[in-house]
Structure 1
Amino acid sequence: MAKSLREKATCPVCLDFFSNPISLSCAHVFCFYCILNWVSKRDDSKLTCPLCRGSSEKPPVEEWQIRILTLLIKQHGPLLELSLQVSSELQWFREDMTLDAATANSLLVISDDRRSVQCAKTHHDMMEDPRQFTYLTCVLGMSCFSSGRHYWEVEVGEVKEWSLGVCKESVDRKRKSNLSSKHGFWTISMKAGAIHANSIPERRIPASPGLQRVGIFLDVEMEEIKFFDVGNDALIYTYCPLSSLERFSPFFFLELPGESDSSAALRICP
Structure 2
Amino acid sequence: MSASLREEATCPVCLELFSNPISLSCVHTFCYDCIQLWLLERKDMKLTCPICREVTDKAPLEEWQIRTLTLLTQQHGFLLEQSLHMRKEFLKFREDMTLDAVTANSRLVLSNDLRKVQCGKICHDLVDDPQRFTHMACVLGTSCFSSGYHYWEVEVEDGKDWALGVCKQSVDRNRKSGFSSEHGFWVISMKAGTIYSNSIPETRISASPGLSHIGIFLDVEIEEIKFFDVRNDALIYIHSNFSCFESLHPFFCPELPGESGSGGTLSICS
So what's the TM-score if we normalise by structure 1? 0.70
In 1, Cα distance between equivalents of 2:247 and 2:219: 12
Aligned to 2:205: 205
Give 5+ residue unaligned stretches, structure 2: 1-32, 35-69
Query: How is 1:49-68 mapped onto 2 (pairs within 5 angstroms)?
Result: none
Q: How far apart are 1:85 and its partner, in Å?
A: 2.3
Query: How is 1:7-156 mapped onto 2 (pairs within 5 angstroms)?
Result: 78-156=78-156
Change (3 A) 1:177 1:77: closer
In 1, Cα distance between equivalents of 2:110 and 2:120: 10
So what's the TM-score if we normalise by structure 2? 0.70
In 2, Cα distance between equivalents of 1:165 and 1:212: 15
Q: How far apart are 1:78 and its partner, in Å?
A: 4.9
State which drifts further: 138-147 or 201-210.
Answer: 201-210
In 1, Cα distance between equivalents of 2:80 and 2:159: 30
Matched to 2:183, the amino acid is H
- Displaced runs of 4+ in structure 1, greater than 6 A? none
In 2, Cα distance between equivalents of 1:86 and 1:156: 23
Matched to 1:191, the amino acid is K
Q: How far apart are 1:159 and its partner, in Å?
A: 6.2
Aligned to 1:183: 183
Asked if 1:252 is matched to 2:244, the reply is: no
In 1, Cα distance between equivalents of 2:145 and 2:169: 9
- What's the % identity of the aligned pairs? 64
Matched to 2:185, the amino acid is F
Change (3 A) 1:124 1:159: farther
Note if contact 2:102-2:129 (Cα within 8 Å) is conserved in structure 1.
Answer: yes
Change (3 A) 1:106 1:241: same
Secondary structure at the aligned position of 2:150 is classed as strand
Change (3 A) 1:258 1:225: same
In 2, Cα distance between equivalents of 1:89 and 1:99: 25
Larger Rg: 1
Aligned to 1:51: none
Asked if 1:167 is matched to 2:167, the reply is: yes
Aligned to 1:196: 196
Give 5+ residue unaligned stretches, structure 1: 1-60, 63-68
Matched to 1:147, the amino acid is S
Q: Deviations over 1:11-58 (max 9, x none)?
A: xxxxxxxxxxxxxxxxxxxxxxxxxxxxxxxxxxxxxxxxxxxxxxxx
Paired residue total: 201
In 2, Cα distance between equivalents of 1:216 and 1:129: 28
Note if contact 2:158-2:211 (Cα within 8 Å) is conserved in structure 1.
Answer: no
The two structures, once aligned, show a CA RMSD in angstroms of: 2.0
